[in-house]
Amino acid sequence: MKRFGAGLLVAALSCVMAAGAARAEEEYPTRPIRLVVGFPPGGPTDVIGRVIGQNLSKQLGKAVVIENTGGAGGVIAATNVAKAAPDGYTLLVSVESSQTRAKALYPKVAYDQVESFTFLRKIAKQRSLVLVNPDLKIASVPELIAFAKSNPGTLNFGGTLATTSHIGGTVFNKLNDTRMTFVSYAGGNQPMTDLMTGTLQVGFFTEATVAELVKAGKLRPLAVVANERSPAFPELPTMEEAGARPMDVSPWFGIVGPAGMPAAVTTRLLSAIDAMLANPDFTAQIAFLGAEPIRNSTPQSFRAEVGNEIEYWTEWAKDNKPQ
């Protein structure tokens, strides 16, 4: 009888604990969620991160607070999120610079790009433009290539290390046998300002960050750095249409959390993300930023795609990582 009674007690306690855990998971979230952005305010990741945060907040019924932690192409932010409690209250706007290229550029990075995270969904991708300072007597991509070849090392392009603004110029150099010089910035709007003033002559920036500057005539776009034209700038050719080698450096944005997040919490987040992606208002908001939703991403495909990209960027970094 005593053994029987002890067994009943253990079973009862187990049921109570399970019920309590289930209730806590069902109630998630019960407090604000931090959505960490690895770049300063004003840059493309910050802009689209805020749109994601606002829309996730509507779906979850709790505030989603943007936390900007700039530095090392998003690596500092990713490190902090990887070390955070895996309770669903700290999430990261995942980008290629910190998720697929970090280890190649910074061998001592303090997280594993795959194993340190719980992958949720890729959310959106954004088109980029190649632009020049309006005072530069270059009006087309072939003219840019010709000038860069005739004046190796003279043209400067700038941006944040390992982001699209950096990748774009290095890939352009490789594909077109040019030698433009990269100038590194911590992030934010300074590279666009320097492109307007002539400190930089060339830029590879997302539509969201330069659209108004282009419309105001402060920057001159030459082409869309993608395989398709942009609805926002339908007159602009793709790189291939402009006479250069085909080139697509469309940055993607996703959501990850620390490794080990509870299944019920990830399920709740995935449900909220899916509702957000299905909302026409969200699609319209990111379209205004030159982005489009990624609708078929799963935790499994997201994780696999990150793993598959690492080898490519490891090779890329051999010629492009900081000395």
- The answer to whether the beta carbons of residues 182 and 157 sit under 8 Å apart is yes
Distance (Å, rounded) from C-alpha 116 to C-alpha 163?
A: 21
List, in order, residues 6 or more apart from 295 with CB less than 8 Å away.
Answer: 277
Provide CATH code, domain 32-125+251-320: 3.40.190.150
Neighbours of 88 (CB within 10 A): 21
Distance of CA 315 to CAs 92, 105, 160, 162, Å?
Answer: 26, 10, 19, 13
pLDDT of residue 285: 93
- The answer to whether the beta carbons of residues 225 and 249 sit under 8 Å apart is yes
Per-residue pLDDT of the chain (323 residues; tens, 9 = 90+): 444 455 555 554 455 444 444 454 568 999 999 999 998 888 778 989 999 999 999 999 999 999 999 888 899 999 999 999 999 999 999 999 899 999 998 889 999 999 999 999 999 998 899 999 999 999 999 999 999 999 999 999 999 888 889 999 999 999 999 999 999 998 778 999 999 999 999 999 988 789 899 999 999 999 999 998 988 899 999 999 999 999 998 889 999 999 999 999 999 999 999 999 999 999 999 988 888 899 899 999 999 999 999 998 998 888 887 65
Domain 128-224, CATH class in plain words: alpha beta
State the amino acid at position 43 in one-letter form: G
Distance (Å, rounded) from C-alpha 318 to C-alpha 322?
A: 10
Two structure tokens written together for 57: 């907040």
- The answer to whether the beta carbons of residues 182 and 194 sit under 8 Å apart is no
Two structure tokens written together for 143: 């003219």
- The answer to whether the beta carbons of residues 172 and 240 sit under 8 Å apart is no
Distance (Å, rounded) from C-alpha 86 to C-alpha 259?
A: 6
pLDDT of residue 19: 45
CA torsion angle 74 78 81 86 (round to 10): 140
Eight-state DSSP code of residue 295: -
pLDDT of residue 26: 63
* φ/ψ (deg, to 5) at 84: -75, 165
Distance of CA 291 to CAs 7, 206, 208, Å?
Answer: 58, 9, 8
Q: Give the length of the chain.
A: 323
Eight-state DSSP code of residue 73: G
Neighbours of 148 (CB within 10 A): 23
Two structure tokens written together for 72: 């090392």
SS3 200: coil
Let me know if the fold of 32-125+251-320 is the same as that of 128-224: yes
| pTM of the predicted structure, to 2 decimals | 0.78
pLDDT of residue 195: 98
SS3 118: strand
pLDDT of residue 322: 63
| In the chain, domain spans | 32-125+251-320, 128-224
Distance (Å, rounded) from C-alpha 315 to C-alpha 255?
A: 26
